């Protein structure tokens, strides 16, 4: 006789994630059939729908399939009951950013609209305070030979580098805690199948290739324009990260060893167009910025043209927070360059100040915003390739209650 299985629903969890649409689900499995990227064995999002209805919070927060979903919305568009399973998975991811990241109070603050002034004020005050300590926060905007140099007011070594390196270290620590819990939970939910899956290093390499090519994302039917916007954002961030890393390295070489490889002047920035290193870096930076604007503009217009969420899913504060933060970074970055070239100091320094605030928000709040999906989804894809998630057969999971009810 089969042993009884007792279910302990989390009623608070049900209340937070439940919707009238979700309760319409009657487990017809249309969503799993139409999803082009769902595994054959224990596919999503059918099981996630019933787990959510039953309030099985621990299972859902450890479920790799919540992150393997690319939110293409094929499932919701084809659902005969209008249960919107795609919206549920998006809600679960937003719940994870808010409640499961460390420290939890920042997760709540970043995802609460009324707290937006507070989370903007944090970097604004820090930047102004460090500038005041440096003695560079003056009533007059500093010029060198009559030209704008942002490093004169916001110096890299004593303001930008300490602030952003500290933020990066904080983000690494936060993700280390969250990913450790997620990986452990995924191991319990989807244990590795013997003789299947990839070695961990190979899984990491394969995951990077999948992300760069968007091979799985491109299989989604409803997400063609989302895929192109997503690709533009990914490659723009890569380009801008390369430029930022190289420029920071060049500045430290100049500071520590008095080696300036960019120009004959004393300062590395602003990058000169007419130099062997500065020219390519400048072109890459501007190409990355333009690609960033294209990607975020396309993503915003996709949402604007789908106000009811019929094609791209329900719109949330988390979506708009990330999109407008990225848009602010792109516009103020290019604006800072153009205003420096036309030498309008008061507006230029103000725009650059806003740029620094937006960049800080994107980095420091990364574990708590929708931008965190780039880390959690990458982790889930690596795990799925490592344990052989897509190669599993019914025999492999037979009797393993952790995977299915």
What is the pLDDT at residue 4?
62
Is pLDDT of 109 > 80?
yes
Q: What is the mean pLDDT of residues 336-350?
A: 93
CA distances (Å), origin 402, targets 31, 144, 268, 397, 405: 21, 65, 56, 9, 7
Query: Is-cis flag, bond preceding 103, omega within 30?
Result: yes
361 vs 115: CA distance, rounded Å: 13
Q: What is the band of 234 on the pLDDT scale with cuts at 50, 70, 90?
A: very high
DSSP 16-83: HH--TTGGG-----HHHHH-TTS-SSS-TTHHHHHHHHTT-HHHHHT-THHHH-----HHHHH-TT--
pLDDT in tens, 25-56: 999 999 999 998 888 888 899 999 999 999 99
Is pLDDT of 119 > 90?
yes
What is the pLDDT at residue 403?
46
Is pLDDT of 347 > 90?
yes
pLDDT in tens, 164-186: 999 999 999 999 999 999 999 99
Is pLDDT of 232 > 70?
yes
Give first-to-last CA distance, the chain, whole Å.
Answer: 17
The CATH superfamily label for domain 11-101 reads Alpha-helical ferredoxin (1.10.1060.10)
Take residue 1 and report the two structure tokens written for it: 């006789």
Take residue 252 and report the two structure tokens written for it: 């430290």
Q: What is the band of 278 on the pLDDT scale with cuts at 50, 70, 90?
A: confident
Is pLDDT of 274 > 80?
no
Residue 172 burial (CB count, 10 A): 10
Domain boundaries, the chain: 11-101, 104-386
What is the pLDDT at residue 402?
45
């Amino acid at each position: 006789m089969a042993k009884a299985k007792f279910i302990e629903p989390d009623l608070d969890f049900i209340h937070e994630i439940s919707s009238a649409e979700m309760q319409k689900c009657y487990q017809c499995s249309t969503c799993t059939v139409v999803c082009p990227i769902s595994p054959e064995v224990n596919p999503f999002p059918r099981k996630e729908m019933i787990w959510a209805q039953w309030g099985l919070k621990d299972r859902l927060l450890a479920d790799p399939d919540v992150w393997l979903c690319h939110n293409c919305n094929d499932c919701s568009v084809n659902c005969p009951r209008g249960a919107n399973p795609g919206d549920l998975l998006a809600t679960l991811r937003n719940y994870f950013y808010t409640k499961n990241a460390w420290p939890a109070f920042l997760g709540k603050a970043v995802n609460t609209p009324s707290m937006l002034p507070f989370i903007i004020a944090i970097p604004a005050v820090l930047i102004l305070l460090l500038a005041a300590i440096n003695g560079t926060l003056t009533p007059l905007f500093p010029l060198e030979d009559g030209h704008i140099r942002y490093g004169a007011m916001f110096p890299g070594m004593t303001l930008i580098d300490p602030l952003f390196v500290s933020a990066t270290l904080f983000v690494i620590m936060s993700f280390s805690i969250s990913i450790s819990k997620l990986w452990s939970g995924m191991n319990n939910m989807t244990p590795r199948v013997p003789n299947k899956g990839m070695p961990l290093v190979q899984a990491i390499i394969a995951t990077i290739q999948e992300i760069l090519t968007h091979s799985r994302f491109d299989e989604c039917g409803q997400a063609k324009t989302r895929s192109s916007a997503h690709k533009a954002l990914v490659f723009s961030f890569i380009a801008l990260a390369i430029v930022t890393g190289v420029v920071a390295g060049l500045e430290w070489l100049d500071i520590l060893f008095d080696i300036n490889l960019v120009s004959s002047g004393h300062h590395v920035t602003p990058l000169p167009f007419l130099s062997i290193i500065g020219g390519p870096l400048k072109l890459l930076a501007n190409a990355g910025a333009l690609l960033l604007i294209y990607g975020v503009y396309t993503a915003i217009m996709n949402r604007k043209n789908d106000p009811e969420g019929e094609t791209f899913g329900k719109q949330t504060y988390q979506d708009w927070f990330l999109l407008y933060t990225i848009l602010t970074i792109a516009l103020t970055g290019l604006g800072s360059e153009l205003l420096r070239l036309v030498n309008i100091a008061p507006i230029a320094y103000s725009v650059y100040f806003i740029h620094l605030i937006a960049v800080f928000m994107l980095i420091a709040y990364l574990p708590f915003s929708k931008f965190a999906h780039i880390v959690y989804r990458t982790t889930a894809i690596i795990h799925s390739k490592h344990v052989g998630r897509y190669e599993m057969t019914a025999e492999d999971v037979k009797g393993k209650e952790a995977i299915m009810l």
